[in-house]
Structure 1
Amino acid sequence: MTTEGLERVEISLNGSGPAHEQRLLVVLPALNEQESVAKVIGEIRASRPDADVLVVDDGSTDRTAERADAAGALVMRLPFNLGVGGAMRAAYRYAHESGFTSVVQVDADGQHDPREIEHLLAVRDADVVIGARFAGRGSYVVKGPRRWAMRLLSFVLSRIIGVPLTDPTSGFRLVHGRALALFAEHYPEEYLGDTVESLVIAHRAGLSVAQVPVVMRARETGVASTNPVRSAVYLLRVVVAVGLALIRRRPESEHR
């Protein structure tokens, strides 16, 4: 399996099961998450024993890949860091080529509760289902410029897509068959593209988007990547991401 600009990808297939009609793959894009990845894999297996688990080691310098492999997950090792968008594009391509029908993205840091996956799977009339942090469940809070940017982005994307969205940057999401085929070829790799632009791409390809409220947990290990400077820049990046999504060439009609 290859992805654009990637010369070498290693994948360990421990635990891969036989093909069946409905196949769910839970994907954990992971960068230096050795302290939490095994626990998250165990929680996924406990809540969704029917699913395969794939950890995309996005150029980690710690033992993320080794601990994921020891926990029984499929492991895809990227030779260098591509970011979440690049990691998920590689995962979508692998899932599509391997015959999976649905993919759920889950953070490897433990913030997404795997028990919430059932709420995403319960939505059967949408191609992309977002697990929303700000939709009436839980007490997850974002403050300052980042929260302002999220509110602006929610308003703009809700108008573009025609569906009320309160958390379009959530990385906890479900992608079904038609969207999976689309994202395997057209998933954006840029920062925020994997969340913001991907929704616009899906909408412009004639696919449906929905959200369900979920509970987000506090990060148990590691350090969040945001700081005051990055939060201030976030608003500008949001504007750029939406702009790119609107001017980029429409996906081919074969994915409609």
Structure 2
Amino acid sequence: MTTSVMVVALSGISAPYAFAAEVGAQDEMFTLQAHQGNLTEIAAGHDAGKNATTECVRHIGSALVRDHSKLDADLKTLAGKLQVTLPGSPSAQQKKELAAVRAKAGGPAYDAAWLTAQDTAHRRTLALIDKELMSGKNPEVEAAARAARPVVAMHLDMVRGGTCHPAEDAGTVRAGDGGYLAASDADADATLAGDAPRDDSLAATGVLSMAGGLLAAGGAAWSWRTRRRSAQRR
């Protein structure tokens, strides 16, 4: 009896985990727009390497290529897993913005325009991330947004106010594990956002606790029936 109770308890509790989490409209929109944002920042970084007149802007451009390439590699892997088809290029508006900055190549006006454009772009990306963290349904997409947030915030600090701040570069972001910055800051970001840190061990503990309760109840019922039969025989 106790074995049967255990099987029923675990099958009933673990059933929701057997199905893939829902990918809502917000999750899909974030995945598409974040990918296009990554493509745009990678292109902008390459442009800065070719056209910037200051070492500061070239350094930040290199950081954008480095970090957004790695974040996008993780995002594409996730999109493939969730069967979300990604666009192959930045949006028409993003292409227009890139071209407007590129048109100033050849002088200091390029650097100023590039920094201003990056300030605007990274504020927009942070807003996109925060919307996903507020309204997203899929935990994996939310995790990708949470991982990207400290990286994008770092980039914004590097170009804030249209001024170059290369010292804000915290270093390489590793692909495949949510990013170097995200690994250290994800729980802090979740706390600031009012979210409890996610821990699969909590779910496992809940499963075992409920199963233990059911086993205890089954054991009590079996003991009661045994005593009742003994009394009847007497």
TM-score by length of 2: 0.21
Query: Quick check: which one's helix share is greater?
Result: 2
Query: Quick check: which one's strand share is greater?
Result: 1
TM-score by length of 1: 0.20
